[in-house]
Structure 1
């Protein structure tokens, strides 16, 4: 009988109840880079930074969209993946390196700036992240049109 009560209690407990809460930053206007607003999501116990980026790609809920929040990132990801997922994320020595495994289409200066801003804010919420480097499928800085394509790494354009 004790096992039945325990099994029933476990079945009634939501799977996400034990996970931490993370913030996902969505755009709230069309400025450059624009205002962002944090929303909360329940994450799994591990991989919280990866989960936060996945939620950013997924975009705001219907209720959040009614509040004027949006994410331009998800609909700009196209084509086949070279890693089996939308992206890879590594955090080492205070730097979060997010490399997209699919093509991310640019939207022009404003849209590109908003995408990078929401990624930066979403990943910098974690104490272990001091810098964010966002790379395209080819390993160049995302949306960097310079010959070198390294402005996000070096900090220079």
Structure 2
């Protein structure tokens, strides 16, 4: 069985990895599981699977997603999120409100997003934004820590 490495969010399908949390460390251990991706949009598919969470069997092995059940309210883009990959940077903007679960949970969520997107050769940096375009879970006045490299 061949593994297809994705070069963009719209490359042809194959197997894709989704990185779930295991345990409660900060930022925590991540474990990859394999999913069969559709013919197109493999990076988007992987993030969608991260939001959906692990299967019952995977959950039984201690895997969890800090994003499952945390998206609330209406979407401002017609989906849960938008994803753009350009010049080595994946920018993920959630189109619904993402409720944080505390410092540890938030760190694990960001860690799994980054690990899931960095499996793609074209992604060197990940920026995760909330519905308002601020860095996800950044409660500072500026809300720009993910843009300055101080994540």
Task: Give the alignment's TM-score, normalised by structure 2.
Answer: 0.90
What's the counterpart of residue 43 of structure 2?
49
The offset of 1:44, in angstroms, is 1.1
1:105 to 79, 99, 102: 99
1:29 corresponds to 2:41: no
For 1:112, what is the secondary structure of its paired residue?
helix
Q: Which of 1 and 2 has higher RCO (CA within 8 Å, sep 6+)? A: 2
Give 4+ residue runs of structure 1 displaced > 3 Å after superposition.
Answer: none
2:130 to 136, 145, 153: 136
* Structure 2: gaps spanning 5 or more residues: 1-11
Structure with the bigger percentage of helix? 1
C-alpha distance in 1 between matches for 2:133 and 2:100: 15
C-alpha distance in 2 between matches for 1:127 and 1:155: 20
Query: Aligned residue pairs: how many?
Result: 140
Q: After superposition, what is the alpha-carbon deviation per residue over 1:23-61, rounded to whole angstroms, capped at 9, x for unaligned?
A: 000001100000010000000121100000000001000
Deviates more, 1:33-42 or 1:70-79: 70-79
* Structure 1: gaps spanning 5 or more residues: 1-17
The offset of 1:140, in angstroms, is 0.1
1:124 to 105, 111, 118: 118
2:76 to 76, 82, 96: 82
For 1:113, what is the secondary structure of its paired residue?
helix
C-alpha distance in 2 between matches for 1:74 and 1:93: 29
